[in-house]
Structure 1
C-alpha cells in the first residue's frame, strides 16, 4: 500500500540512511524502505535503534523488550525479524518461542523484564507501584526502567509503520512467519 524506496530512488534525507542500512545488513529491510517515505521517521528510527544498543541492557534483554512490544502490538513483520536477531544474540530457543507465544521466560529476571515492558505497553505507561517494585526486586535499576521506555518507543515507530503500511515480510525471514496466537 505504501511506496518503498531504496538508496537510489529514496527522497532527500533518506538515501544516505538507506545506504548505511544496506552496508550494515547487506540489504535494506522493507521496514526501512517504507519509512524512507518520511525521512524524519527513518532518521529517528535509525538513530534511536543505534542508541538503544548502547544502553546497559544486554543484547538478550534488548530483544526481550523489542519482542514483547512486537507481540503486544501484534507486529507480524517485526516478530520474525526479532526471532532471527534473538537467535543471533544467543537467546535460548525455548525463550525465543516463549516470546513468540507471549508466554513466561525461563529466567526469572528476564521474565520480570518482559512483564514490566508488557505492563508499560498495556497501561500506556501508568504501571502500578507493584510492577515497578517487582522489576527493581530482581536487580533492575531506575536507569533500566527508562531504557525499557526507549526500546518501546523504537518498536512503536516500527510496529505502527508496519501496521498502517502493510509492510511485506522480507524473504530473509519468511521461514519465521508469525501470527499472534489466541490466548485464552
Structure 2
C-alpha cells in the first residue's frame, strides 16, 4: 500500500499531466485525498519540493521503462517500440506527457526543478536513442529516434483535442514511419 507521501506525489503527477505544474495547488491535493493542506505541507513544505519529488519519480519511471525494454530486447522478446508504449500507457486520454507538461511551464519553474527537468529531458532522448541504436546498430545518427519521440509527444497533445481514433491513426503512422526509416537505413 502506498504511503501518504507517495499518494501526494502520484496525485500531483496526475494533476500536472492534466493541467500543468503552475496550476497545481495544495488545495486540489488536499481535497482529492481528503487530507488537510497542513498534511501536504508536512511532507512537502514548498511546492518546489513536491515538484522535485515528482521529477525524481518521473526519472525513476523512465529508467524502469528503459530497463524493461532493454531486457526484452536482450531476450529477443521485444523491440524498442515497447519503451514508447510503456510510457504512453501511463498517460490517460485527457492527459499529456508529464515531462512535456513540465517543459511547457519551464520558464516559470524554480531553478531546482529546471535543473532536474533538463536532466530528465536529456535522459529521455538518450535512453530512447540508445534503444534504437541497440536495435539498429547500423544507424548512423539519432535523428530518427529524436523525430519519432517528438512525434509521439505531439500526438499525445493532439489526443486531448481529437478523438481516440485519430490518436490511434497517428500512432500507427508514427510506428510505421519508425520501422520504415530503420529499414531504409540498414537496420534490423
Determine if the TM-score, normalized by the shorter chain, exceeds 0.5: no
**Which one scores higher on RCO, CA 8 angstroms, separation ≥ 6?**
1
TM-score, normalised via structure 2 length: 0.33
TM-score (norm 1): 0.33
Say which structure is richer in helix.
Answer: 2
The structure with the largest alpha-carbon Rg is 2
